């Protein structure tokens, strides 16, 4: 898996993101909130590699701290969505019957009637801004994808001979699920989680761009892009650097998802890259 | 292959019946979501320094003093008459405001869909035919790049290059066809990328089928095999994906409309959210959700038409 250069690239980017996230205060050349009005809107170069914004803040430092916000929101949303989705999807898929009909037909389909991020937008719009409110808002719609996937996989597995055999040996339901079925369905879940991380990072940046995500002065990439739009004529670097940061982060997650798919599930290998 | 029409009609009838409760749940969810969260729209409208008497009077005038179940009942009753209430901010009918902005959003999303289809179908076919070769790899890379480039980053960059540096296209606004190009590209790129991957996978799957081998064995030219036989079947799953992705287009429209000052529902929704204009937010969410549900229903109908096997299911 790691022989593919694109996989290496994605691992390097994700490693860099993690490094920025964990060691932002040590890595950032300046305080991301420190304003230096005399040196506002400086282009890249000199003392500021990525230039400065309209308040004279160092763009590179803000991008490094922005990685921390992206990862914090992204990982939290994936973990919460995965936990809730696993629980609900497992129950629906394993027990079937009215529980499955209720979860699948009523809850999941109704929530899917909202187009993706609109649900999060509705919550965040009225909960108000804030990182954890954003995480909750994104998780409210985020678990559905995992629940659907897990439900479908468990539905397929539970009829197979090995599950029937384990059941006949008197294994309780929870052991059947955790020790027998889950190890066989974990691959597609991991793939979805990798792609979901990119999706959550994108959603955070989108909502922040729309002014409904992480409140200023926190340096979210989406907020930086939105602020930069006002200076598209005189300081295009304010758009270019955050845009590249978001793109690289999402690209890395998507590459990783593809690479994991090829590695973990060769049957799905479409040899696209 | 021939199937009776009643089965198709029954299938679609069932789908329609199933859609109605979903619309009802969406309406209810949006209503309570908006009303149960903290924040007073009247206070927001009149400002922090407003007198208590004025606030009370305004609240009564807008029907916000009633208990929540009564407000919900009034809202549903209005909805049945096609009345979505009155916008706090514009002081005019929400239905009217939405109807005035709706065509702009439809124009943008359909143009984006066109951009996506025009790129993805040829690109997906070329990728599948040249599987594993450099063209396939290049298109694969480009589509993954397109998928990873968020529209709020792409839009300003396109403005920077095509409107400011090259001066070819207008920066923002709605009007001539030239105004539509950059917003449609911004909105359509991600969908083009997703569809390219889907068309490729689907055509590849079809190419391995017996009927393709038979068609080739009959001596049909490769072009005919590809476009007349393979692509027709290969596009069936793509139809579903278009329906599902339409929701992404509708929400993407919020960002795109904001970037390009496009006077559609997306920008209206955001303006309404920032102004805490409850009836307008409710109306916008409802319009977007109903459009999404309707497009999915339409996709299902189209799917039933192109793939008769579904009707029996």
| A219 falls within a domain | yes
- Measured between alpha carbons, how far is residue B234 from residues B188, B211, B229, B307 in Å? 21, 13, 9, 11
User: What is the Cα–Cα distance from B30 to B25, expressed in whole angstroms?
Assistant: 8
- Nearest by CB to residue B140, choosing from A239, A242, A273, is A273
The answer to whether the peptide bond before residue A217 is cis (omega within 30 degrees of 0) is yes
| A103 falls within a domain | yes
* Mutation site, A14, A66, A109, A115, interface B, largest B CB count within 10 A: A115
* Mutation site, A17, A105, A114, A271, interface B, largest B CB count within 10 A: A114
The pLDDT confidence band at residue A273, using thresholds 50, 70 and 90, is very low
| A167 falls within a domain | yes
Q: Give the count of Cβ contacts less than 8 A between chain A and B.
A: 130
- Closest Cα of chain A to B200: distance in Å? 9
Residues of B in contact with A127 (CB under 8 A): 37
| A68 falls within a domain | no
Domain containing A231: what range? 75-272
- Average pLDDT for A248-268: 80
Its ipTM equals: 0.78
If one counts every other C-beta atom within 10 angstroms of the C-beta of residue B175, the result is 8
Q: How many domains does chain A have?
A: 1
Q: Is there a contact between B152 and A205 if contact means CB atoms under 8 Å apart? A: yes
**Interface membership of B161 toward A (CB under 8 Å):** no
- Nearest by CB to residue B153, choosing from A118, A246, A273, is A246
pLDDT of residue A109: 74
Identify the architecture of domain B100-311 in CATH.
Orthogonal Bundle (1.10)
| A234 falls within a domain | yes
Contact map slice: B 64-123 vs A, CB within 8 A = none
B7 has a pLDDT exceeding 80: no
Q: Report the candidate in A138, A125, A34 with the shortest Cα–Cα distance to residue A79.
A: A138
User: What is the Cα–Cα distance from B106 to A167, expressed in whole angstroms?
Assistant: 54
**Cα angle at A96 between A91 and A99, to 5 degrees?**
70
| A99 falls within a domain | yes
Query: Which CATH number fits the domain that encloses residue A219?
Result: 1.10.3720.10
| A116 falls within a domain | yes
pLDDT tens digits, one per residue of A32-68: 877 777 777 777 877 777 777 777 788 888 999 999 9
**Interface membership of B224 toward A (CB under 8 Å):** no
pLDDT of residue A272: 43
Contact map slice: B 250-309 vs A, CB within 8 A = 250-251, 254-255, 258-259, 269-270, 273-274, 281, 285, 288-289, 292-293
What letters, b where the CB count within 10 A reaches 16 and e where it falls short, cover B279-292? Answer: bbbbbbbbbbbbbb
User: What is the Cα–Cα distance from B257 to B268, expressed in whole angstroms?
Assistant: 9
The pLDDT confidence band at residue B184, using thresholds 50, 70 and 90, is very high
Surface-to-core class of residue B80, CB atoms within 10 Å of its CB (0-12 exposed, 13-18 middle, 19+ buried):
exposed
| A105 falls within a domain | yes
User: What is the Cα–Cα distance from B125 to B143, expressed in whole angstroms?
Assistant: 13
Task: For residue A109, give both structure tokens.
Answer: 């389909």
């Amino acid at each position: 898996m790691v022989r593919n250069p694109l996989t290496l690239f994605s691992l390097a980017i994700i490693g860099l993101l993690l490094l920025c996230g964990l060691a932002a205060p040590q890595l950032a050349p300046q305080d991301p909130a420190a304003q230096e009005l005399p040196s506002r809107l400086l282009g890249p170069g000199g003392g500021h590699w990525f230039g400065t914004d309209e308040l004279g803040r160092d763009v590179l430092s803000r991008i490094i701290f922005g990685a921390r916000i992206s990862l914090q929101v992204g990982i939290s949303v994936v973990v919460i969505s995965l936990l809730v989705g696993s629980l609900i999807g497992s129950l629906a898929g394993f027990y079937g019957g009215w529980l499955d009909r209720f979860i699948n037909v009523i809850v999941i389909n109704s929530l899917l009637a909202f187009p993706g991020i609109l649900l999060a937008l509705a919550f965040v719009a009225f909960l108000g801004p804030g990182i954890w409110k954003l995480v909750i808002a994104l998780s409210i719609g985020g678990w559905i994808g995992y629940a659907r996937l897990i439900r479908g996989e468990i539905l397929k597995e539970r009829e197979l001979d090995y599950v029937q055999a384990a059941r006949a040996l008197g294994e309780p339901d929870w052991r059947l699920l955790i020790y027998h079925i889950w190890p066989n369905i974990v691959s597609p879940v991991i793939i979805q989680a990798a792609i979901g991380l990119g999706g959550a990072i994108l959603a955070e940046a989108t909502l922040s761009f729309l002014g409904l995500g992480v409140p200023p002065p926190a340096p979210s990439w989406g907020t930086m892009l939105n602020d930069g739009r006002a200076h598209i004529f005189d300081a295009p670097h304010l758009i270019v650097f955050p845009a590249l940061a978001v793109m690289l982060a999402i690209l890395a997650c998507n590459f990783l998802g593809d690479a994991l798919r090829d590695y973990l599930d060769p049957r799905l290998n479409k040899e696209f890259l | 292959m021939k199937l009776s029409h009643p089965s198709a009609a029954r299938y679609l009838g069932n789908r329609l019946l199933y859609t109605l409760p979903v619309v009802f749940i969406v309406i209810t969810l949006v209503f309570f979501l908006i009303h149960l969260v903290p924040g007073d729209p009247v206070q927001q409208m009149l400002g922090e320094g407003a007198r208590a008497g004025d606030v009370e009077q305004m609240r009564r005038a807008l029907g916000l003093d009633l208990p929540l179940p009564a407000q919900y009942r009034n809202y549903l009753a209005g909805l049945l008459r096609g009345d979505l209430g009155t916008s706090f901010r514009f002081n005019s009918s929400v239905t009217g405001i939405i109807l005035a902005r709706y065509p702009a959003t439809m124009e943008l999303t359909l143009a984006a869909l066109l951009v996506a289809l025009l790129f993805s179908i040829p690109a997906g076919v070329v990728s599948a035919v040249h599987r594993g070769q450099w063209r396939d790899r290049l298109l694969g890379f480009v589509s993954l790049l397109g998928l990873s480039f968020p529209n709020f980053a792409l839009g300003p960059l396109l403005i920077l290059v095509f409107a400011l540096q090259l001066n070819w296209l207008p920066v923002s606004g709605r009007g001539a066809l030239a105004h539509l190009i950059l917003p449609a590209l911004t909105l359509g790129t991600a969908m083009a990328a997703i569809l390219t991957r889907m068309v490729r996978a689907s055509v590849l799957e079809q190419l391995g089928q017996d009927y393709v081998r038979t068609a080739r064995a009959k001596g049909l030219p490769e072009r005919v095999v590809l476009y007349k036989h393979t692509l027709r079947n290969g596009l069936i799953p793509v139809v579903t994906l278009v329906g599902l992705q339409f929701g992404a287009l509708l929400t993407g429209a919020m960002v795109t409309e904001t970037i390009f000052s496009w006077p559609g529902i997306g920008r209206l929704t955001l303006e309404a959210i920032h102004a805490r204009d409850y009836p307008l937010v409710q109306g916008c969410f409802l319009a977007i959700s109903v459009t999404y549900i309707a497009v999915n229903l339409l996709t299902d109908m189209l799917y039933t038409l192109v793939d008769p096997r579904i009707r029996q299911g």
